[in-house]
Amino acid sequence: MTPRYSLSQIVLHWAVAVLIPIQYWTGGSIERTHHAVHMGLSPEPWDVIQHHVHNYAGIAIGALMVARFGLRVIHRSALKHPAKSLVDRLARAMHFAFYAAIIAQAVMGFVASYLWFGIAPVHVMGSRVILALLALHIAAAAWHTFVWRDETVDRMIFPRRTLS
């Protein structure tokens, strides 16, 4: 079995995993808030709250992903064994795509919110790319667990205490 991820990598992984669905649940508020403002209306208070949650969760995701990338470079646990098989190479490509897409999404969200709203359509497309990558990630985890019955997913689960 390949080495486990460090506890800090596991915590960051699951923190991002909790925050990403929040982005999808709150993302619609951005359009509703901006539409109301452009129409000269006051946006719904709940939409304003969701808008803020979306922005700050996005900033948090960006920071957490940069930290994850830094830890991945420092620990290199997943990169210690050579990616010989096609499956290993696909897994590495998937992880790289995930990191790149999520970090780029956080940057685009920041730019759309604070610097240039014109990038918003690209940000929306990025959310669809991340959904596709997420679906593949979950499918791969399920495949490892239920078909190959290997310990790949165990590497990203909090270590269990052993009774002594």
CATH number (domain holding residue 107): 1.20.950
Query: pTM of the prediction?
Result: 0.85
Query: Is residue 161 assigned to a domain?
Result: no
34: containing domain = 7-156
Query: Is residue 96 assigned to a domain?
Result: yes
pLDDT at 99: 94
Query: Is residue 162 assigned to a domain?
Result: no
Query: Is residue 48 assigned to a domain?
Result: yes
pLDDT at 83: 65
* b/e 73-98 (16+ beta carbons within 10 angstroms → b): eeeebbeeeeeeeeeeeebeeeeebb
CA distance 152 to 91: 11
pLDDT at 1: 52
pLDDT at 145: 85
Query: Is residue 103 assigned to a domain?
Result: yes
For residue 40, give Cα distances in angstroms to 34, 36, 52, 114: 10, 6, 20, 20
CA distance 52 to 58: 10
pLDDT at 2: 62
Query: Is residue 110 assigned to a domain?
Result: yes
Query: Is residue 139 assigned to a domain?
Result: yes
Number of domains observed in the structure of the chain: 1
Low-confidence ranges of the chain (pLDDT < 70): 1-2, 77-83, 160-164
Query: Is residue 164 assigned to a domain?
Result: no
For residue 92, give Cα distances in angstroms to 3, 112, 119: 15, 30, 29
pLDDT at 92: 85
